[in-house]
Amino acid sequence: MHQKVEFFPGRVQVVFRKGPLGYLLQEPTDQTRLIKDNTSLQDKSAPKKQELVRQNALVVVPQRGGDASDRIEVLGEYILQFGKYKGKCFRWLLENDIGYTIYLIKSLQQEEAAGDFMTEGNSKDSLLSFVSYAQSFEEIQSLLSYLCKNPAAPAALSEDNQLVGFGSRAKSTWLEIWDSRADGFASFVMKKTCVPGTRMYKLQQYLWKKQRSTHPSPVTASKAQDEPM
Report, as an integer, the average pLDDT of 12-36.
91
Collect all residues with Cβ–Cβ distance below 8 Å to 123 and sequence separation of at least 6.
Answer: 47, 81, 82
Side chain identity at 25, as an amino acid letter?
L
Model confidence at 36, pLDDT cuts 50, 70, 90, reads confident
For 120-177, what is each residue's pLDDT tens digit?
789 999 999 999 999 999 999 999 999 888 876 444 456 887 888 888 888 788 888 9
Domain ranges, ordered by start, for the chain: 30-149, 159-214
Residue 165 is predicted with a pLDDT of: 83
Residue 225 is predicted with a pLDDT of: 42
Report, as an integer, the average pLDDT of 105-127.
82
For 137-153, what is each residue's pLDDT tens digit?
999 999 999 988 887 64
Out of 109-118, 150-159, 209-218, which region has the weakest mean confidence (pLDDT)?
150-159
Residue 221 is predicted with a pLDDT of: 40
Averaged pLDDT of the chain: 85
